[in-house]
Amino acid sequence: MKQDLLSFKDWTDEQLKSLLALAKTIKANPAGYRTALDGLSVVALFEKPSLRTRVSFDIGINKLGGHLVYLDSQSNKLAGREDVKDMGANLACWADAIVARVFAHSTLEELAESAKVPVINALCDMYHPCQAVADYLTISEHYDDLSKVKLAYIGDGNNVTHSLMLVGVALGCEVVVVTPKGHEVDENIVKLTQQRAAKFGGTLTISNDIDAAIGSQVLYTDTWLSMGDNTPLADIKDTFSGFEIDEALMEKTGADYVLHCQPAHRDLEISGSLIDGEQSLLFQQAENRMHGQNAILVQLLASDFQPKN
């Protein structure tokens, strides 16, 4: 039976750990995986812009010996020209997997239902699972034991936050989410994350107080305005005042490193000098997008593949 990756809601700690281990193996031995997707084709549908996701999937699939067809929403509207479910059924006639970046999570569910090949979420309104794999791969390259890591996400509660929460607690992390009032994460995802924490051993703290981040090893932030949110920046700047990540906050919290999924807005949610400084893991995170996604692709499309050396 095909396996989709729409969120990591149903993935166990063992499944997530094994995916991270595979990502590390592929990263360490790219030559061994050069034919992992030999003869396989992936269609990438993007309703929203992308730099990292689009390029890392394209180049990553090439490195695994597969082929990517990119469809942007300008020339191939997901809604309007034909039903999403017909689109999914058609694409599955030729493609071995569908990678999709969409506005609504329900679009991914429709694609997954109609396509007989795996559908991979490349970001939607609720989740960014591929990002979370890269994030925890990056953190695990600095800390052997994730159960000793306190990770504080600071900023707007959004798709990236949700995936960080769902995956982080299953890996045993102490996840803290600090947002201004009115920008909290989804309540259902909080409940689900708490259930996962009880099962797998991590913890989740939700707060509007920046001091909840004190004692973190890693701070994480994202844009205050996600794609599709047309609120003028001027309207929310005051709300987010005090939630910027800069050198002073790194010192106050005692954090070793800072992460940001990017695109970043220098000197807004994160100081430019921090992005360029020694505590920044932003570009390691960006590189790991590709290794994480390659692990997802191998897991979903070629789980029997034996590396060549």
- 131 lies in the binding site for ligand CP (CB under 6 A): yes
Quote the CA–CA distance of 4 and 88 in Å, as a whole number.
Answer: 13
Is the CB of 7 or the CB of 131 nearer to ligand CP? 131
- 214 lies in the binding site for ligand NVA (CB under 6 A): no
- 150 lies in the binding site for ligand CP (CB under 6 A): no
The option from ligand NVA, ligand CP, none interacting with 280 (CB < 5 to 8 A, set by class) reads none
- 271 lies in the binding site for ligand CP (CB under 6 A): no
Is 261 annotated in the active site? yes
| Residues 242-261 close enough to bind ligand CP by CB under 6 A | 261
Quote the CA–CA distance of 2 and 112 in Å, as a whole number.
Answer: 10
The option from ligand CP, ligand NVA, none interacting with 51 (CB < 5 to 8 A, set by class) reads ligand CP
Quote the CA–CA distance of 139 and 159 in Å, as a whole number.
Answer: 19
Interacting span for ligand NVA (CB under 6 A) from 78-86, 88-96, 219-227, 275-283: 219-227
Q: How far is CA 96 from each of CA 4, 38, 65, 108, rounded to the nearest angstrom?
A: 12, 11, 13, 16
Burial (0-12, 13-18, 19+ Cβ within 10 Å), 24: middle
Is the CB of 7 or the CB of 53 nearer to ligand CP? 53
Quote the CA–CA distance of 9 and 268 in Å, as a whole number.
Answer: 31
Is the CB of 180 or the CB of 292 nearer to ligand CP? 292
Question: Among 16, 44, 45, 52, which residue sits at the site for ligand CP (rule: CB under 6 A)?
Answer: 52
- 56 lies in the binding site for ligand NVA (CB under 6 A): no
In 28-72, DSSP assigns E strands to: 41-46, 67-72
- 107 lies in the binding site for ligand NVA (CB under 6 A): no
Residues 6 or more apart whose CB falls under 8 angstroms from that of 269 comprise 155, 221, 222, 223, 224, 240, 243, 244, 245, 260
- 294 lies in the binding site for ligand NVA (CB under 6 A): no
Interface residues with ligand CP (CB under 6 A)? 50-53, 123, 131, 261-263
